[in-house]
Amino acid sequence: MAMLITQTEDIYKILPELEKMELVAIDTETNGLDPHLHQVILFQIGTPEKQFIIDTRRASLEPLRAFLESPKPKVLHNAKFDYKMLRGSFGIRMENLVDTMIIEQVLTSGTQDRGFGLKDLAAQYLGIEMDKSERSSFITHTGEFTEAQLEYAVRDVVCTYQILLKQIPKILRQGLEHTVKLECLAIPAFGDMEFDGFLLDTEKWNSLIKVAEVERDKAKKELDRIFKATRTSDNLFGWVNINYDSDEQLKKALADLGIHVEDTSRETLMSLQHEVRDWLLAYREHQKVLSTYGESFLKHIHPKTGRIHCDFKQLGAESGRVSCTNPNLQNIKAESEFRSAFVAAKGRKIITSDYSGCELRIIAELSQDPVFLKTFREGGDLHAIVASAMFNKPVNKDENPELRKQAKAINFGLAYGMGVQGLALRVGCSEKEAEKLLNQYFKTYPKIKKFLDNSAKKALKEGYSETIGGRKRYYDAPQAANNPRERAAIERKAKNAPIQGTNADMTKLALVYIREEFKNRNLDALLVNTVHDEIVVECAEEIAEEVGKLVHDCMIKAGRYYLKTVPIEVEYELADFWKK
């Protein structure tokens, strides 16, 4: 039963009925997708038995503010979108959101080959074929809503509610209550980050682009010089006409130099013993900068806010890690000068905070290796201590530094499922030597090997790997039983997922804590970015020290929730721009 509301006073009348509902489903219809340029024109709320449809062009949602911002659970599909649209249209920030799309991604992490749209889940759980063609009719709509539009609006609310009821038993059966709760609690934090955006200094950005152009052209000139001796017959003037971005042309050009390669990947180029290697790598590095950060990047600056509003995908990776698009701020490396072009607005500061050695601390927690535990508890250079134990030699940054480099490569590589080939490329040795290094490492630290081996065995036997917090990444283990290549891929992912996933869990919980503190203290502070175990905040200059300490404490609190035997360290820095 649906009721259309077009007057504000009628919203007050339905509040008692809404308050009695233990759970409500919510959906919105909008005249566009941008919360800064478009508006919510229809707001739907209710249960499968009773729905209220509010024409927000005529009736104000203000009477619902307290209800929507209360702890009462509200189920939506793709909740982040509705959160941003309601904030943009009415300044309402919904709390305690339950998202059927996010839940399905958690339930099927690693195995889902279908879509996660409401239409997909309605077909899967309810056996309903939803027609979503009516959605586009709201974009240019004026006047009274049609019966078809109202029926469409009601159906979305009813289906979302019913899908959740079907998902709940699966959540309990798969033991994913904590992960689902964490992901749902984090929705408003990601919604705020996208809505508030990050300010970009375009003048600074363009100056960095010009530097990259100069360096790219310099590398190209040197490459032309190297290849010119083999290309004199190309044209009348002896010009070099090689597209260095083309694998085929580059392979042919290298062959003319007597260098025969199967591909032109970075790993292959790194193995070359010729001056062309360094210039090719330099050319590619600067060309990538130009293609990634050139004029196309500046098109993402919002015409109204003047800020970058990217799209964070909470479950951007099967491990639970976040990804970022439109544009991707996560591929701006920590040491990149381009970070300095992301700035605080006038009278404000940027606080960049990150967990120190997070993945290695997680390995220590999961493996309970005594050397790792002792080093983190007492302090010290873990890479040097590991190297000294492996090679039985004194090692520090000044003494036998090459051994420290090898140990560091192994330490960090373990968090990414690195094997012999990856280690060989990282430290610049043969695969045979890399295999010896790994064997020596695991001989020295058997508990780490045991943890990694057990993770791989569990994935193959039970079909999933698991983080400290219970997040699961699923695998098609039976399919890999007779396929050595697929089996090896599962083993590699299973060793990596508990580490990366726990890292993601910690950072997301920290975002939840930070947003809650900002709200409770009514601080002039914004979450503006996150990159793996790093969180970036913008705040008023006069409270920067307070906010920096608050962010630090929230991250420590989140880390301690998961790591019980390893101390947590967080470093933060205040500046006028995004720092390392």
State the Cα–Cα distance between residues 366 and 467, nearest whole angstrom.
Answer: 9
Residue 526: φ, ψ to 5°: -130, 140
CATH number, domain at 53?
Answer: 3.30.420.10
Q: In Å, what is the CA distance from 556 to each residue of 319, 526, 550, 573?
A: 22, 19, 10, 15
Q: Is residue 183 part of a domain?
A: no
Q: In what order do the strands lie in the sheet with 24-30?
A: 2-5, 51-55, 40-46, 24-30, 74-76, 97-99
CATH number, domain at 234?
Answer: 1.20.1060
For residue 209, which amino acid is it?
Answer: I
State the Cα–Cα distance between residues 553 and 547, nearest whole angstrom.
Answer: 10
Q: Is residue 94 part of a domain?
A: yes
Residues 235 and 324 in one domain: no
CATH number, domain at 571?
Answer: 3.30.70.370
Residues 213 and 136 in one domain: no
CATH number, domain at 490?
Answer: 1.10.150.20
Nearest to 194 by CA among 350, 297, 79, 117: 79
What pLDDT shows up at residue 238?
A: 57
Task: Classify the C-alpha dihedral 459-461-463-468 as positive or negative.
Answer: negative
For residue 124, what is the DSSP state? I
Q: How far is CA 437 from the centre of its chain?
A: 32
H-type alpha helices, 135-176? 147-173
Residues 19 and 142 in one domain: yes
Residues 99 and 208 in one domain: no
State the Cα–Cα distance between residues 330 and 349, nearest whole angstrom.
Answer: 20
Q: Is residue 253 part of a domain?
A: yes
Residues of the chain with pLDDT under 50: none
Residues 492 and 524 in one domain: no
Residues 395 and 463 in one domain: yes
Residues 244 and 364 in one domain: no
Residues 27 and 140 in one domain: yes
Q: Is residue 187 part of a domain?
A: no
Q: How far is CA 337 from the centre of its chain?
A: 21
Nearest to 409 by CA among 424, 398, 394, 397: 424
State the Cα–Cα distance between residues 476 and 111, nearest whole angstrom.
Answer: 7
Q: What are the tokens at 509?
A: 């919980």
State the Cα–Cα distance between residues 502 and 468, nearest whole angstrom.
Answer: 6
Residue that has been written with the tokens 């289906």 in this structure: 159
Residue 242: φ, ψ to 5°: -115, 130
Domain finish residue from 158, 174, 190: 174
State the Cα–Cα distance between residues 423 and 432, nearest whole angstrom.
Answer: 11
What pLDDT shows up at residue 289?
A: 85
Q: H or E segment at 290?
A: helix 276-293
Residues 206 and 338 in one domain: no
Q: Is residue 193 part of a domain?
A: no
Q: Is residue 104 part of a domain?
A: yes
CB 184 within 8 A of CB 99: yes
Non-local CB neighbours of 355 within 8 Å, separated by 6+ positions: 361, 503, 506, 507, 533, 534, 555, 559, 568, 569, 570
Q: Is residue 370 part of a domain?
A: yes
The burial of 272, by beta-carbon neighbours within 10 Å (0-12 exposed, 13-18 middle, 19 or more buried), is given as middle
Non-local CB neighbours of 247 within 8 Å, separated by 6+ positions: 263, 264
3-state secondary structure of 200: strand
Residues 127 and 45 in one domain: yes
3-state secondary structure of 578: coil
Bridge-based pairing state of the strands 2-5 and 51-55: parallel
449-454 — which CB contacts under 8 Å span 24+ positions?
450/367, 451/363, 451/366, 451/367, 452/414, 452/495
Residues 327 and 413 in one domain: no
3-state secondary structure of 372: helix
For residue 392, what is the DSSP state? T
Nearest to 568 by CA among 547, 579, 549, 554: 554
Q: Is-above-0.85 flag for pTM?
A: yes
Q: Is residue 195 part of a domain?
A: no
CB 270 within 8 A of CB 277: yes
State the Cα–Cα distance between residues 254 and 248, nearest whole angstrom.
Answer: 10
Residue 244: φ, ψ to 5°: -70, -5
Residues 160 and 238 in one domain: no
Domain range spanning residue 277? 202-297
Number of structural domains (the chain) is 4
Domain finish residue from 297, 323, 345: 297
Domain finish residue from 174, 191, 221: 174
State the Cα–Cα distance between residues 465 and 453, nearest whole angstrom.
Answer: 12
State the Cα–Cα distance between residues 204 and 297, nearest whole angstrom.
Answer: 13
State the Cα–Cα distance between residues 426 and 492, nearest whole angstrom.
Answer: 17
The pLDDT tens digits of the residues spanning 3-18 come to 999 999 999 999 999 9
Q: In Å, what is the CA distance from 85 to each residue of 37, 162, 313, 324?
A: 10, 24, 17, 20
State the Cα–Cα distance between residues 334 and 326, nearest whole angstrom.
Answer: 19
